[in-house]
Amino acid sequence: MPSSDREFAHIKEIFCSVQGEGPYVGTRQAFVRFSGCNLNCNYCDTNFESQETCDYEKVEGSGIFEKVPNPVSVEKLESMLQPFNKLHSASLTGGEPLLHAEFIEKLNLSAPLYLESNMTLPEQARKLREKISYVAGDFKLPEAIRKISSENREVHMENTIECFRLLRKNSSRDCFCKIVIGRDTKPETVVLAAEAIAPYVSCIILQPETPVGSAVRTPRFTQTSVQTIIELQKTLLELTDTRIIPQTHRMWGCL
């Protein structure tokens, strides 16, 4: 990639809101939603396709979006985040933000960086080891990924564990793991995943798959019983702090 390309990124949305998931739920954050993803999860509800413009909500909660041409430069992004103050952190989300690791390396923000990643790109994760203060890392279980071969399942698990090792919790960084629990989830895979990454994280979040739109009334969302998730939590508590937290921003209807 030419060096000039690293100073630009395709971004879907920039806005200020509150974190809706995990142990930092309710904290005030700026959000930078990058375009592009390297996975194809069967519960994905995110439109991460690159577009000609990025939606920028300058006044938080206003619902008024400016259209900013893509790609966006590092300097432009820094200036667009300037109006947002009193932030807990700036959330880098997507899509998959690690696809833009070289761009993120160049960012100079006053707020700490909070990475929301699918944790499958270890070479990209390595570049950001000194840069990130909070890691909200997903463990995408192989059964949640469409059309993954058995060979690729193994590589996927190894890459995920390596990302958690590289970005593990330390004295200057928190790292926690989120696992979406849905209809296809096999409890034994969750336990294997948790055993592998437990030394690297402060806690594991079990996030029941959230129904959207008309799916709320379909039977699939009654198939992962409360009892199954509570039993999983009990098992995982043997390894590390484990909490059950659904997506709260969907209840509220905010970004």
Nearer to ligand SF4, 39 or 107 (CB): 39
Cis status of the peptide bond prior to 71, with omega within 30 of 0: yes
Amino acid at 212: V
Give the tokens for residue 7. 């100073």
d(CA 50, CA 45): 15
8 A C-beta contact, residue 13 and residue 54: yes
| Closest approach of ligand SF4 to the CB of residue 44, in Å | 3
Q: Give least dist CB 185 to ligand SF4, A.
A: 14
* Assigned token pair, 115: 């990475």
- Looking at beta carbons only, is 84 or 176 nearer to ligand SF4? 176
Binding site for ligand SF4 (CB under 6 A): 37, 39-41, 44, 46, 48, 94-96, 118
For ligand SF4, which is the closer residue by CB, 80 or 119? 119
Between 8 and 43, whose beta carbon lies closer to ligand SF4? 43
CB of 238 to ligand SF4, least distance (A): 28
User: Considering the complex, what minimum distance in angstroms separates the CB of residue 145 from ligand SF4?
Assistant: 8
**Mapped to the 3 state alphabet, what secondary structure does 192-247 carry?**
HHHHHHHHHCCCEEEEECCCCHHHHHCHHHHCCCHHHHHHHHHHHCCCCCEEECCC
User: Which of 76/224 has CB closer to ligand SF4?
Assistant: 224
How near is the Cβ of 147 to ligand SF4 at its closest, in Å? 12
